[in-house]
Structure 1
């Protein structure tokens, strides 16, 4: 398997950020030391859904040169793996080596700079056209990676024309290649009560709940035509889709106003038009983005979110928390079903050039 795919492919539906103590890790380290004699424990463990998730977690921490992936012993979660970050002291061996240690697997990432990059002071210095901790190739958008033959779910660096530096995004490399710009679900959460400057940039984890930034979305959508797929997870846990044609976000001077030419439902699992729901004073279409430090009518302040608010605020505001995450009686994210607003359990916003 290619190095980039080992580093960046993450077929993990949910990753958990809680740091935990791994029972029995000293025993594993003793066995590791007998075989490798090159690693020391960095003091962090995490739960992932596959050894590949452990590799990805290690990959985005410069001090981690190897990782130990051990299936969780608890019978209630047999699919989870405990990941131990290790510091590799010998960095000249083959790129990826694996040896089974009792029930664990050991992954050693010893040449972390790819595509001709070189290590300087324990960091990669990249050639032109490459970026990141390991000098990964970056793309104009995820469809470029799709056209290069990549398939599946990948974390890749993307740099639309005009963006200053590449940004890591999740790419769904099927059906032409979709670029994820926002996500929220019941297994992760992100604080949406943020300033204008924070919304302009990105926040959250590209592999979990995240917002990729108004500036990124603007540069992506400013040229050509873009379709937005609003993937709405309903109360039954079913993923439904609302398509918005010629979707674009204007520049900062225009307060990142959202526009689209038309809505159409996905044929087999349709979602209704949420952004156009609520009439002339509540729909998000053709409205500027608003945050509490650049508020027009107290909508951002009252909801504790940034959003494309109308004069009456918004019927659909995906930056509200999910119903399961707030006290009873609090406002939560909703989407129309049969012309009535209903709670949702998550969403993904993804875009693609057409």
Structure 2
């Protein structure tokens, strides 16, 4: 029996080596978001101590890091994330393509730890959103929307925080700026997403008499989101990416991203503090 177990372990190791993967590359808590044939695409897989986020990785590389997959460690264990380095070291926490093959109609447990393919359409996970944004640095949220004509709109919320699971991953947002409309904190009746708890098809935390995550459009449920009653924005409905006037069933968007990085305001304050220390 021991010989058989050893042979199976040896065969598994051989398969990993053939795929260009070693046991060292597998140390990530969310490897279910990364197919085995993409393990060798993780750019910093040899690092013993991964950076906290993509922006820290960019700073460690003196601004030379490329877009791609990286190990980061916002909590106790490393995770794999896609880093948008050319745009300033954003950690991508969500990506969706209209009519995506990835199903966003998922359970609370799946939204907690993530699903999809981190190199494509995916949700990184509410637990990791919490780990990333809980500090000590202050973080901001970036929302990127692209229509079929490749016209891109961007919005930022600073600061951005996702509370822990005990608080139902409640969303906390600061001031908005950008070329897109403010679809999350604009104080319209029934559509204020700021300060809302997260809702999934099996965990109803919204302010509507029905579960907003279950409501369908063209046969597709809404998916998990920080609903009010119900939505002025929803980037997890895969048949229609919804962001008020920017993306809707009349004005279709092709892609959407949600990304996080440390606040520019915090970096400005730190920079001023450093200059004071030098005086």
Taking structure 1 as the reference length, what is the TM-score of the superposition?
A: 0.57
Distance 2:116 2:25 in 1: 26
Query: Which residue, 283, 292, 297 being the options, matches 2:192?
Result: 283
Q: Which has the higher strand share?
A: 1
Q: Report if the CA contact (8 A) 1:241-1:271 is conserved.
A: yes
Question: What is the match of residue 136 of structure 1?
Answer: 46
Deviation at 1:334, TM superposition (A): 1.9
Segments of structure 2 that go 5 or more residues without pairing to the other structure are 1-12, 32-38, 264-279
Change (3 A) 1:243 1:64: same
- Choose from 96, 101, 112 the match for 1:200: 112
Query: Using the alignment, how far apart are the partners of 2:24 and 2:145 within structure 1?
Result: 39
Alignment map for 1:24-173 (pairs within 5 Å): 63=15, 65=17, 109=20, 112-113=21-22, 123-124=23-24, 136-137=46-47, 138-149=50-61, 150-160=64-74, 163-173=75-85
SS of alignment partner, residue 136 of structure 1: coil
Q: What pairs with 1:233-248 in structure 2 (closer than 5 Å)?
A: 233-248=146-161
1:320 CA drift (Å): 0.6
> Is contact 1:159-1:165 (8 Å) kept?
yes
Give the TM-score taking structure 2 as reference length.
Answer: 0.71
**Structure 1: unaligned runs, 5 residues or longer:** 1-60, 67-84, 86-108, 114-122, 323-331
Q: Counterpart of 1:171 in 2: which secondary structure?
A: strand
User: Residue 197 and residue 166 in structure 1: after superposition, are their counterparts in 2 closer, same or farther (change >3 A)?
Assistant: same
Residue 224 of structure 2: which of 270, 286, 306 is its match? 306
Judged with a 3 Å threshold, the aligned counterparts in structure 2 of structure 1 residues 126 and 301 are, in CA distance, closer, same or farther, namely: closer
Larger mean Cα displacement after TM superposition, 283-292 or 295-304: 295-304
Instruction: Provide the alpha-carbon RMSD of the alignment.
Output: 3.0
Mapped partners of 1:346, 1:288: distance in 2: 25
Spell out, residue by residue over 1:148-185, the C-alpha distance to the aligned partner (whole angstroms, 9 max, x if none).
Answer: 2242212001110xx24211111112354110000012
Aligned in 2, Cα 1:158/1:237: closer, same or farther, shift over 3 Å? same
2:145 matched to 1:232?
yes
Asked whether the equivalents of residues 94 and 124 of structure 2 are also in contact (C-alpha less than 8 Å), the reply is yes
The structure number with the bigger radius of gyration is 1
Question: Greater share of helix residues, 1 or 2?
Answer: 2
CA distance in 1, matches of 2:54, 2:101: 24
Per-residue displacement from partner, 1:124-156 (whole Å, max 9, x unpaired)?
Answer: 4899x9x98675322211111101224221200
Where 1:262 maps in the other structure, the secondary structure is strand
Matched with 1:22 is none
CA offsets 1:230-254 (integer angstroms, 9 cap, x no match) = 0011243212101111011111111
For residues 192-217 of structure 1, what are the alpha-carbon distances to aligned partners after superposition, in whole Å with 9 as ceiling and x for unaligned?
11111111101111100010000000
Tell me which of the two structures has the higher relative contact order, counting C-alpha pairs closer than 8 angstroms and 6 or more residues apart.
2
CA distance in 2, matches of 1:338, 1:180: 21
Superposed, which structure 2 residues align to 1:180-219 within 5 Å? 180-186=92-98, 188-219=100-131
The alignment status of 1:320 with 2:272, answered yes or no, reads no
